[in-house]
Amino acid sequence: MGSNNRDPKKFEKIIAPLEKQDEFILDGEEYKRKKETPSPKTADWYNRKSFSLIHKQPNGEELYSSELADRLVSGYKFLMPFYDYFITLDSDPDPGTV
């Protein structure tokens, strides 16, 4: 992780609410061989080639209801701490400059 965010406790605090809800799940292709991680709580994240937080459900009546807007706002509020954290991380170097 980025030089400003090497403390796994900070990341553990950000991901903790994910375990207490069922709206979003961590998704992404995993490495075949497990990597060493800073803590057991972060292992599922570190052992992915890429990741996303997703929500899956069949389309239903909610899609056409006014409750959908409230649910979307709630979902974005839940995801903002993840976004705020990830934008602070060092990015991969530009391949043209390596």
Specify the pLDDT at position 68.
Answer: 92
User: How far apart are the C-alpha atoms of 6 and 12, rounded to whole Å?
Assistant: 11
Query: 74 to each of 9, 28, 70, 78, 80, how far by Cα in Å?
Result: 25, 23, 6, 6, 10
pLDDT beneath 70: ranges in the chain: 1-6, 91-98
Q: Structural domain tally of the chain?
A: 1
- Is position 22 within any domain? yes
Does residue 59 fall inside a structural domain?
Answer: yes
| pLDDT at site 89 | 83
pLDDT of 90: 77
Residue 1 in any domain: the answer is: no
Please report whether residue 93 resides in a domain: no
Do the domain assignments include residue 55? yes
- Domain containing residue 68: 8-88
